[in-house]
Structure formats: structure tokens, C-alpha cells
Structure 1
Amino acid sequence: MQALGWQHQVASRPPSATRGFVPVAQRWVVERTFAWLNYFRRLAMGHERTAASHAAWLPVANLTMTLRRATAH
């Protein structure tokens, strides 16, 4: 990722938050995306033999979700 000029940042709870739900930076976007990907059985169950095959299904799932949203309106 650094070769592409990307950086990652780990989002953690603010120290002032003791209990309950606290929205943290952009973490909810990532968690929501993972929840959407769980609707695809091939990704949720781990049917693929190789990690490359599993990774190849991620763009397919994202494209499917995008096309469904584009045609729903």
C-alpha cells in the first residue's frame, strides 16, 4: 500500500467515551461494507480454495451491489 502512496489509520474509541455507541471517524463505513459483503454466500462461507480466488470475488460483489442500487431508482 505504501508503494501506491496510501496510508492506513487505525480508528479507535476516544478516551472520553466510557460506555455505549460512539461513532468513530470512518470506521462505520468499513463495518457497513463488510456487513453488505456478508450477503454473498461465496464470501461469507469461504468456499474458495485459494485466497486469490476469494479476492477475485470481492470486485464482483461490489459491482453487483452497485448495479442493484443503480437500477433500483
Structure 2
Amino acid sequence: MRKTHTFHDNRDIVAELKLKDSHFASIFDEHAELDQKINYLEKDLVKHASREEEIEQMKRRKLHLKDEIYKIIDKNKERSRA
């Protein structure tokens, strides 16, 4: 079973990638933005009820971005070990 790492566990690699890889920086920022929007909407019960489908779409996009972020992190870790 693979241990789940967080962005915090990989903060050095994340910081390096954000500086040298504009695509990574872009998707990392989009992921953070979606996280904030989702948290805001989920706390507001009125907005949450009326925007449930939109929230679900944001969650799917956020998950897709997270997968892509971790693929890039893992690939970078492999390169640094080689």
C-alpha cells in the first residue's frame, strides 16, 4: 500500500517546481484556488444547496489537478534519484 504524501511533505520539490515549471505553477495555483472556492461554498449552506452540481464539477477538476501534480512530483523525484 502506497503512503499518501501531502503537498507539505513535498514542499521543497513543490517550491522548486513552481519556480522552474510554469505549467506546474499554473495547475498548483488552480488547485489551491478551487480548494478555497469549494471550502467557501460548502460553508454557506444556501449557496451550497443551489450550486451543488457546480461544486461537484470543481471537486472533480481539483482531483484531476491533484493527480497531475503528484505525477509531476513523482517524476521529478525519480529524476533527482537517478
Q: Larger helix proportion, structure 1 or 2?
A: 2
Give your verdict on TM over 0.5. Answer: no
- Give the structure, 1 or 2, with the largest relative contact order (CA under 8 Å, sep 6 or more): 2
**TM-score band (shorter)?**
0.3 to 0.5
Larger radius of gyration: 1
Q: TM-score, normalised by structure 2?
A: 0.32
Q: TM-score, normalised by structure 1?
A: 0.36
